[in-house]
Structure 1
């Protein structure tokens, strides 16, 4: 059985949409006679192609590296992606990040990692030529489109995507994996993604169809979506197929993130966190679990929303209180800002740093450096570690089959020299 909230999250629609489908007969619900709550039988969901995975009860394969596969990670942030790749068995030989606090976080947690802190544009990757299996990272999306023109490698110069592409050109990895916001699909009417594809093609790589991953399907108690781009070197592209991570059938909730259970052996550790000003706290105290500004008295709505009250759109991010029995909304870089509030389900306050980290599935012992605002930003920008682990397994699976079925050699030994910024 699946609740209304679960089915809404799985299909990526609102609860209001499900109510309309219920009334129209497209997806009728069943009422629980004990509490009158609506739910859906599993078989009702067979009609949705994107949910076919919940009927796959086959055993998940045990994927471990057959060789020591080498990776370079760019725009590494606080290490969410790196943690997952490490757990999957990949050997990251270089991480680059420009934010000093994020670099301090990486170094404090993994002193043995080769963390290069500084401007990627000043980093020379040529010593790693043919020494790397995978280049990964989440480059910030910047517009570099010219209307009606497919741009080449040099045209992208001055953007951070150019630096990501340059690292690929200088290292010549077997494949690369980049993550970004879902909005990149339609950024600048699709021109940005079209030009990214043309640059990748010029470098000698085949870009697979961009893939949107919903974190809730990969043991992450958060309604987060990321766009994944995978490119395979042309001489290898037709040899084996890349398989995206297989979704899990269970969806975890905020309770799973912050209380001992399957995701974490202990309750969330105590830590520092931001608070609300008294006036805002008085408003948020009136919002029920799972509610938002529309659940406030009308006079309070108008006083709190001000001009936004009269604007169009749902404005569902305002005055939001989370619910224990649902995944958390996507975490932002600032937990208390008015447009994207994420209030604790019971206490009238934003989530603490450690609560933020648990919702992003960082290990409990992963420490964050810098001021409180910087720690929130590092966590909010991260790839959820559990989702990163599943991506790592897909990379390992591809490389295993590539090497075993086609006698492709893994990358060479780690580079001994230390890279220096120019």
Structure 2
């Protein structure tokens, strides 16, 4: 007779609501969904990103709209959600923006995201950006503007930098983070602990896909690609094709037998001659799907568009495993509020 388990005192965790801005390929939204958040609205200003989001989550309310033009008064379902989240365009330092003598649309988007807090009134906020925004003196004036607005709205907050490699992503990828809570809930918040498992290398992650078309050297290549990936750079939407980053990053890719100057349409076939000694022709390029794996996307997550647009979406995404870890830490705070006042023992 099969024993039964008494689950009378075990109940599923309640789902939480969120609004996602600048959603891109959905890395942040996917990780937050895995952590228990269901978005009532997801917005991005690029048609191809919205197509990707609808392709994977047709039930989500996905809107193609510029954050600077979004008015929450017209979408009352966003009011009083648990979390407002966004992976925002990379903010330039004020010194860099001044040297270029141009406007700063990325900073405008950051300010718009902070302004949106007033209209949405979320219990928590999660914004992701460049690590320099968190730790460099050049950005102090930007942080001061954000701090002033959050203080005015009654939110307490923390800045921090986390590395996606510590959360199961096979890539050295630092991200700058702002987490804020309404009132004193920040006293309950703890940044997610790094995973205890060993890092998964590029070779381990991509070996099976490299051999999918019969490439005889797939296992040999994977054995020497025994490190995590350098930071994958999505690049500018306004110029250039798909490649794996600046010159320094390309040199790192070359040391593990990867051609970082381009992105392939397919993995190698059985006739490909892998010979790094002869230069680029002997290096293996990665496909968009493989880059997505190095970002921590699951294989079933589909990316819409042509190759360069697909690569841009993947390369600029927040790695879903990192988003899941952050979402779990935030959800823990939000679900704990019925348990009584916070007991702060240090952070």
TM-score, normalized by the shorter chain, greater than 0.5: yes
The equivalent residue for 2:110 is: 161
Measure how far apart 1:142 and its partner are.
3.8
Match of 1:345 among 233, 237, 256: 256
Change (3 A) 1:216 1:108: same
Contact kept? 1:65, 1:90, Cα under 8 Å = no
The equivalent residue for 1:253 is: 201
Q: Does 1:393 align with 2:294?
A: no
Measure how far apart 1:259 and its partner are.
3.3
1:214-229 equivalence runs, <5 A = 214-229=163-178
Match of 2:129 among 172, 180, 183: 180
1:270-316 deviations in whole A, cap 9, x for unaligned?
69xxxxxxxxxxxxxxxxx89xxxxxxxxxxxxxxxxxxxxxxxxxx
Bigger-Rg structure (1/2)? 1
Instruction: For structure 2, list consecutive stretches of 5 or more residues without a partner in the other structure.
Output: 1-10, 96-104, 214-220, 235-241, 258-273, 275-282, 343-347
1:18-57 equivalence runs, <5 A = none
CA distance in structure 2 between the partners assigned to 1:269 and 1:111 by the alignment = 32
Change (3 A) 1:338 1:120: closer
Measure how far apart 1:195 and its partner are.
2.1
- Partner of 2:340, secondary structure, is helix
- Partner of 1:366, secondary structure, is coil
Change (3 A) 1:166 1:191: closer
The equivalent residue for 2:140 is: 190
Change (3 A) 1:224 1:145: closer
1:127-142 equivalence runs, <5 A = 127-128=76-77, 130-142=79-91
The equivalent residue for 1:332 is: 233
- Partner of 1:177, secondary structure, is strand
Task: Figure out how many residues of one structure are paired with residues of the other and give that number.
Answer: 279
Contact kept? 1:65, 1:400, Cα under 8 Å = no
The equivalent residue for 1:101 is: 48
1:342-377 deviations in whole A, cap 9, x for unaligned?
349345133111110100011101111112111111
Contact kept? 1:270, 1:354, Cα under 8 Å = no
Contact kept? 1:142, 1:159, Cα under 8 Å = no
CA distance in structure 1 between the partners assigned to 2:91 and 2:137 by the alignment = 9
Q: Does 1:233 align with 2:176?
A: no
CA distance in structure 1 between the partners assigned to 2:119 and 2:18 by the alignment = 14
CA distance in structure 2 between the partners assigned to 1:268 and 1:395 by the alignment = 37
TM-score by length of 2: 0.73
The equivalent residue for 1:373 is: 308
Contact kept? 1:331, 1:380, Cα under 8 Å = yes
Q: Does 1:202 align with 2:152?
A: yes
CA distance in structure 2 between the partners assigned to 1:384 and 1:158 by the alignment = 22
Change (3 A) 1:268 1:166: farther
Q: Does 1:243 align with 2:193?
A: no
TM-score by length of 1: 0.60
Match of 1:359 among 272, 294, 299: 294
Contact kept? 2:133, 2:139, Cα under 8 Å = no
Which range is displaced more, 102-111 or 123-132?
123-132
CA distance in structure 2 between the partners assigned to 1:336 and 1:212 by the alignment = 22
CA distance in structure 2 between the partners assigned to 1:143 and 1:330 by the alignment = 18
Change (3 A) 1:183 1:232: same
CA distance in structure 2 between the partners assigned to 1:187 and 1:83 by the alignment = 33
Measure how far apart 1:214 and its partner are.
1.1
Measure how far apart 1:200 and its partner are.
1.6
Measure how far apart 1:326 and its partner are.
0.6
Contact kept? 1:135, 1:177, Cα under 8 Å = yes
